[in-house]
Amino acid sequence: MNNDLNVQKGRTLALTIGLVDSDGVEYTLKSDEKLIFGVKLNSESTEYDIRKELTASNKVDGGYLLTLSAAELDLTVNKYKYDVALKTADG
């Protein structure tokens, strides 16, 4: 599976992040949960260049809508790493 994101400078990025549980069933965020999307230069970096939180209000067909504006994506041209984390009420 190719999980690369290619973003053209000066453009807005909109993508849907799907969640499934260990049985492959679509997972729906609870009101106290968040999806955290982060972008950083490399996996060792402690600071994120981009960090967005998605909540149940971002639900669309097939997942959760993440939108990054051209201004948010105004980074130095390079290869970056991204990750997605689920933050539950328990942390």
Q: Per-residue pLDDT tens for 23-38?
A: 999 999 999 999 999 9
- Confidence band, pLDDT 50/70/90 cuts, at residue 82: very high
- The pair of three-digit structure tokens given for residue 86, joined into one six-digit string: 């689920």
For residue 2, pLDDT over 80 is answered with: no
Q: Please list the residues that pair with 87 across neighbouring strands.
A: 34
Residue 1 pLDDT > 80 = no
**What is the rounded CA–CA span in Å between residue 39 and residue 7?**
12
pLDDT at res. 74 = 93
Which pLDDT belongs to residue 56? Answer: 96
Q: What's the pTM?
A: 0.88
